[in-house]
Structure 1
Amino acid sequence: MSEIDHSAADRSQQPRNRLAETTSPYLQQHAENPVDWWPWCEEALALARSEQKPILLSIGYSACHWCHVMAHESFEDETTAKLMNRLFVNIKVDREERPDLDKIYQTAHQLLAQRTGGWPLTVFLTPDDLAPFFAGTYFPKTQRHGLPSFQELLIGVERAYREKPEAIREQNASLREALSQLDPAPGVMISDLTPLDQARRQLAGSFDKVNGGFGRAPKFPHPTNLELLLRHHAATAAAGSPDQQAREMALFTLERMVRGGMNDQLAGGFCRYSVDDQWMIPHFEKMLYDNGPLLTLCCDAWQLSGDQVSRDGVSCDQISRDQVFRDAALGTADWVIAEMQSEEGGYFSALDADSEGEEGRFYVWDLAEIGARLNADELALIRPLFGLDRAPNFEGRWHLHGYRRLEEVAAERGQQDLEVAKGLLTSAKAKLLAARAERVRPGRDEKVLTAWNALMIKGMLRAGRLLGREDYLDSADRALAFIKATLWRDGRLLAVYKDGRAHLNAYLDDYAFLLDALLERLQTRFQPADLDWAQALAEVLLSQFQDEANGGFYFTAADHEALLLRPKPMADESTPSGNGIAALSLQRLGHLLGEPRYLDATARTLGAAADAIRRLPYAHGTLLMALDEQLSPPEIIVIRGGLLGTEPEAGFGSKGVGYDEIDRWQQLAQRDYAPRRLTLAIPAEFSELPPALAAMHPSERVRAYRCRGTQCDAPIDALDQFEVALISSSTPV
């Protein structure tokens, strides 16, 4: 087994500050700094107030390359540390554990600096009100690129704090006023799909027709935008006029990402983003929150492109695309289970971009090393496939990027049997993966975050269901069981688990994403306990997070500590909008259970976000999906198992008598890409159900109930009739 790189913090040293007592790997990386770091806590804030010292707040995360650079240049430097300790109370925050603080001070940075922020975020706060009076991101040790040295900055900021208190008070008052305007009164309700069409046009306007993606480098995956386009295509296809451009923008972009260097061509899993416009060279960190939604998206793309193959005949390109999405889903899920799932069941957060002090070192290659590992046939295949016959693409070395399709390379080499080429590629990848395993691995952030786990649980469930992989379903179930046993206490969620300790009250994303994952679980392996848990999460969303006055959901609970701002984020960011997922999931649960409070919460959220959606539709893709289902309610299909021939002792999904039949009905309902359809298969012995579901009685044999909104059809008792009904459901009601 290869060594794991812990070079960011030399563990042989004794801790020099309080960060050693925390659970965050990022904070622990700074435990040996000569800086007198505090975690964010009342004791540190009280110290700043009593000494009337400004607070230097530094926010980052463990896989952040530039966070490591600034730490090495400045926070490990004795002279800089002495200056920091003399002039400031220094607080270090892990943005992944405290996304509330990150959202607040990133927003403040944007208002102060008039540009977007990033990490590391460097903010200076007045001690009495915790308002930022100066903010930036990375600062170098010495002047360069128009930036002052960090030491110069420290001296200048502290001087301004002492000499210009009135100006700072006025600026802080203006900032607080600007922050208060970020939560406006509800706008006029949106009554049609105009914003969705506008979002589609905005995306089309920035679409890169050559490389896929939107805009220029750096390029981020933005799976929510791609999901929105696929859903839009499905809706227009159901209406009889399919938007093929929307479909092609999404599938072409995803295909280029999958074939490119942002996707680990050996082990699977996606890196954070591409630094170029070709998806070739990534920023090498691997984040769980990217890979969960991308796993879901690859499954959806495989299902959609597979539908096209089965209906329209076959072509080489189409089959290739169909296979590439399936392979990407398999690779991502396999990588997560192998490298990112703990023995306890939870999923870890991230892999670092760096190893041995260099970004990407673990992933890039010399030709001599590759040549020494592969035989002649393997090398001849992968040279053109991954660009090894071209100039180096990463600092004199090669990062594997899919320049060519396997079918093209095989044809050029005269290999008529594609299976031979696939075999060579498989053996070459296995040998290179074995060679890579001998290297020093990037550090792994082993904290378990509820929200990010929920994103991966949904992706793993989708992959297991569509690809027929029981091991993926089992992986998701282990993670769900871990969250329920460890992070669900007294009817509330906790946000973080590490080293046997669960702590920090959960945020909006934790509840919303987990509710969404449970809805996916109910469509995979129905269990009443999961439905009960989903309802419990929904009730906490309403009681603790909902803005009763203006609609929408705050990011923090009502009993959270008082901070400078109580954010209510509406736009999608690197993760989907918590408000969007809450609105979409509550609406679906409301239709499923006939619960008007959930439907009303969604309507009020869309009202609160209406003006923001109109201003910038494409930035609110998740809310647009909720709007789409508000205007055209989702199709709910409930399949009840037959009373004859079932085995109450058999777990659902086992192939006992009677279960094969209910499985066939469920698989038929879930065969095609139908994003506005929820399908629950409930065995007959599950009788303790909420009233809306209990009213859907089982019959002697399998029976299906189909509803859309408040309109339900007569029960269907024959499989062939059910198939006809599914075809007709593609026509809007």
Structure 2
Amino acid sequence: MQGELLATSCLTNNWCNQMYRFSYKLWQSNGETLESSGERVLEALRKGKEISASPGETLPSGPDVANRCYQQLAHSYEEEYGGFREAPKFPSPVNLMFLMSFWAVKRASSEGAEALQMALHTLRMMVLGGIHDHVAQGFHRYSTDSSWHVPHFEKMLYDQGQLAVAYITAYQVGMYASLCCPLQSGSFYSAEDADSFPMVESYGAREVTCRRKKAIQIRALLPDIVEGAAGGATQGDISIHPYGVKEQGNVDPAQVWESEGQNVLIVRYSVELTAAHFGISVDRLSELLSDARAKLAKVRKARPPPHLDTKMLASWYGLMLSGFARVGAVLGDKALLERAERAACFLREHKWDEEGQSILHSCYRGNNMEVEQVASPIAGFLDDYAFVVCRLLDLFEATQRVCWLQWAEGLQLRQDQLFWDSQGSGYFCTLKQDQDGAEPSANSVSAMNLLRLSHLTGWQDWIQRSQQLLTAFSDRLIKVPIALPDMVHSVMAQYYTLKQIVICGQPDAEDTASLISCVNSLFLPHKVLMLADGNTEGFLYQRLPILSSLVPQDGKATAYECENFACALPVTCPQELRRLLLE
């Protein structure tokens, strides 16, 4: 192992000291075993470079891979609180998105129904739990227990973007809108730390000090008696009831250091039960709780905030951009779509090297809050390209602004030049990532990017490249598809054939908007959406000549559902289009 250097992160000084002492003792007592174990780890890492398509190997069967992935997830599913393991429990958006995609192609089967139930129950338990910040919104990194109650309070940008997409997808398939977290429009920084100082004059930062409350503190902040409430209850009395706040605290001191008497907000009672308990209306209760959260947020802001990691990574920025684009499209919220486009413009201005035609990995906020770049900017990694391409495609489908599709196409071509393995297929980035974790692997995302781009630009070579990529991962997909749920989604899209939905009409016309809104209201994981506005000199018409033959019927905006651009009969009614798309 001489000369080998490995790295890790998220280690405190105390952990480093413990690791050093433990490793030293182990080396002294059993050095040969330790070295042998290290060699096995290195060998496993080396194999990550060897993933390739064997001669004659074919694309794995979509249904077989999807069914096995579902079975493996079902086996690890925790029924009471959702999620896929015991504590610590992570959100794992890639698992949830796969389950909802699996349901979309197996709606009539018991497996499909069970997959949807697993995803929705997990999302429901998370949004009710302490992993969800009920005061400032957003989700923390993971739960330290199986019930999603006490989290590690760090917040990561990649979680927020992916979970926004997961919740809006759940909304599309029928989850109650009240359980779908609103997308917050804060800055796209990388992370918010778990630790903060209890007071301005404090010297030692501690985890969760600005996010835990004692019951007496909440009552003192909300002392007003609520007119008509049973027992002369105050706003504080009413506000602590649904969130499981206890006088002795609802956090086990053995679980979290210095948490005696402290509470982490978690929804224990519905607004209906709480309103009935205090004899007030649900509307009045909602007003009281909203006001209480605002006051708690104001107090939190007055305390020293957790450290904010102000570097801005292209890949994570892309994930959040997609959240705004997808949510904005489904809800028809122009403000969110404008936010997504501003984010894309920021990427273009600060993370794009025009001269080198390359993405830059990161930029920073300086002391004066101006965006800064290091003297020698870091070139973009594979995941920067893959994630940004994917999110630009989402933004194109949400806004139908061709400039985003054109940039996505250019970035994909550049990614292919920089990272494609022409011998073994797949994209290189030191290792060929063969696991979807907190973020999907860049190869998983790229497989779907290539397929979507081929159907949006007519370049058939990208379909072949997507298939080559998936074939390179065949062994992994067949044996342990649970490791690559996002890539399994791409295998399913290849098998079930991506549909092109073409809306022919004027961009600003009401009937055009109605048809686009109909498409956006449905969860259709294997489709691309495009607007044919009649401009035969435009980018789409030049790339897809068949669009010239698709025209509005009877002067009305018209929708065509196509497979490989063989199109079904046109429809002009949103209700008829909905029926057609769900068949």
Q: TM-score range by the shorter chain?
A: 0.7 to 0.9
Matched, 1:420 2:277: no
Shift of 1:366: 1.8
Which residue pairs with 1:220 in the alignment?
90
Change (3 A) 1:723 1:491: farther
Given that residues 215 and 240 in structure 2 are in contact (C-alpha distance below 8 angstroms), is that contact kept between their aligned partners in structure 1? Answer: no
Partner in structure 2 of residue 379 of structure 1: 236
Cα distance in 2 for residues equivalent to 1:442 and 1:224: 28
Deviations 1:590-620 (A, max 9, x none): 1222211111111011101110112211111
Mapped pair 1:704 → 2:564 = no
1:658-669 superposed matches below 5 A: 658-669=508-519
* Equivalent position of 1:590 in the other structure: 454
Q: Give the letter aligned to residue 207 of structure 1.
A: Y
Q: Which residue does 2:330 correspond to in 1? A: 466
1:234–1:242 contact (8 Å) kept in structure 2: no
8 Å contact kept, 1:378–1:427: no
Say which SS state the counterpart of residue 341 (structure 2) adopts: helix
Q: How does 1:53-92 map to 2 (within 5 A)?
A: 59-60=8-9, 64=10, 67=11, 69-70=12-13, 73=14
* TM-score (structure 2 length as normaliser): 0.86
- Cα shift at 1:377: 3.7
Match of 1:719 among 565, 568, 572: 572
Q: Following the alignment from structure 1 to structure 2, what is the Cα–Cα distance between the partners of residues 242 and 413? A: 42
Residue 672 of structure 1 is matched in structure 2 by 522
CA distance in 1, matches of 2:129, 2:69: 26
Distance in 1 separating the partners of 2:245 and 2:335: 35
Q: CA deviation at 1:552?
A: 1.2
User: Which AA in structure 2 matches 1:501?
Assistant: Q
Give the distance between the partners of 2:26 and 2:334, measured in 1 at CA: 56
Deviations 1:569-610 (A, max 9, x none): 021011012111100111111122221111111101110111
Paired residue type of 2:17 = P
Tell whether the 8 Å contact from 2:532 to 2:547 is kept in structure 1 after alignment: no
The separation in 2 between residues aligned to 1:460 and 1:181, in whole angstroms, is 37
Gap runs ≥5 in structure 1: 1-52, 74-137, 142-146, 307-320, 342-346, 556-565, 643-651, 653-657
Give the letter for the 2:357 counterpart: G
- Give secondary structure in 1 for the equivalent of 2:361: strand
**Other structure's SS at 1:679 match:** strand
Among candidates 335, 349, 353, match of residue 190 of structure 2: 349
Is the contact between residue 640 and residue 682 of structure 1 (CA under 8 Å) also seen in structure 2?
Answer: yes
The equivalent residue for 2:276 is 411
The answer as to 2:140 corresponding to 1:271 is: yes
> Does the C-alpha gap of structure 1 residues 151 and 538 become closer, same or farther in structure 2, counting only changes over 3 Å?
closer
Whole-Å separation in 2 of the counterparts to 1:151 and 1:173 = 16
Distance in 2, matches of 1:242 and 1:723, equals 28
Q: What is the CA-CA distance between 1:233 and the residue it aligns to? A: 1.0
Give the 3 Å change call, closer, same or farther, for CA 687–705 of structure 1 in structure 2: farther
Kindly provide the amino acid, as one letter, of the partner of residue 724 in structure 1.
E
State the shift of 1:222 in Å: 0.3
Whether contact under 8 Å (1:139, 1:150) holds in the other structure is no
Letter in 1 for 2:515: W
**Alpha-carbon distance between aligned partners in 2 of 1:526 and 1:450, rounded to the nearest angstrom:** 22
- The one of 229, 244, 249 equivalent to 2:118 is 249
Q: Distance in 1 between matches of 2:40 and 2:141?
A: 35
Alignment of 1:493-642 (within 5 A): 493-498=359-364, 499=366, 500-501=372-373, 503-555=377-429, 566-642=430-506
Contact 2:81–2:146, Cα closer than 8 Å, also in 1? yes
Measured in 1, the distance between the counterparts of 2:162 and 2:562 equals 28
Q: Contact (CA 8 Å) 1:688, 1:694: kept in 2 or not?
A: no
Give the root-mean-square deviation of aligned CA atoms: 2.7
Shift of residue 152, structure 1, vs aligned partner: 5.2
Cα deviation, 1:327-385, whole Å, max 9, x if unaligned, reads x1x1xx22xx23xx1xxxxx210000001210111110122221111134422322221
Query: Which whole-Å deviations, capped at 9, do the CAs of 1:295-337 have from their partners, x for residues lacking one?
Result: 111111112115xxxxxxxxxxxxxx43111xx1x1xx22xx2
The whole-number CA distance in structure 2 between the counterparts of 1:481 and 1:571 is 31
SS at match of 1:705: strand
Aligned length: 537
CA distance in 1, matches of 2:174, 2:543: 35
Q: Is the 8 A contact 1:296 1:462 kept in 2?
A: yes
Structure 2 residue corresponding to 1:196, chosen from 56, 66, 84: 66
Check 1:150–1:190 CA distance in 2 against 1; reply closer, same or farther (3 A cut).
Answer: closer
Pick closer, same or farther for the CA change 1:151–1:678 going to 2, 3 Å: closer
**Residue number in structure 2 paired with 1:361:** 209
Aligned to 1:139: 16
Tell whether the 8 Å contact from 1:302 to 1:323 is kept in structure 2 after alignment.
Answer: no
Q: Which runs of 5+ in 2 are unaligned?
A: 198-204, 225-232, 252-258, 367-371
